[in-house]
A = this chain, B = another copy of it.
């Protein structure tokens, strides 16, 4: 199954549809059913002590899964998150961007199931694990 959107197309889509956050994310790698995206950590993502906040990690995992799915089905803004589970496992490193490595496990007619691991860039131990399910607009078939 070929990619329907490459990194340039996904960046362009993000800038048009989510201009308020598009500058925070950077797509690093994109393969069939797999995508890596980084969060450029800024002050607004931090918690006291310099660690990245839970909502910021949630946002990164959500963007990773969303772009991963769009790369396979094309620019459908109407794909919506229906379920998310996250385990927060380690404190992210201070002054360090985060990377999410997202994988599609199922791309069905109406549901897509993904999982991802989040890392402080350069560290081998994941800071968080997430699974996200998306409801897909029916016109994608």
Point out which of A18, A44, A54, A125 has the most chain B C-beta atoms below 10 A from its C-beta. A54
Contacts of A82 in B (CB 8 A): 87-89, 111, 133
Contacts of A58 in B (CB 8 A): 54-55, 58, 84
Contacts of A113 in B (CB 8 A): 87, 89, 129
Q: Are A87 and B77 in contact (CB under 8 A)?
A: no
Using a Cβ–Cβ cut-off of 8 Å, how many residues does chain A contribute to the interface with B?
39
Q: Which residues of A contact B (CB under 8 A)?
A: 17-18, 20, 44, 47-48, 53-56, 58-59, 62, 77, 80-90, 105-106, 108, 110-111, 113, 115, 117, 125-126, 129, 131, 133, 135
**20 chain-A/chain-B pairs, Cβ below 8 angstroms:** A17-B48, A20-B44, A53-B59, A55-B55, A55-B56, A81-B88, A83-B83, A83-B86, A84-B84, A84-B86, A84-B88, A87-B113, A87-B131, A89-B105, A90-B106, A105-B126, A106-B125, A110-B110, A111-B135, A115-B115
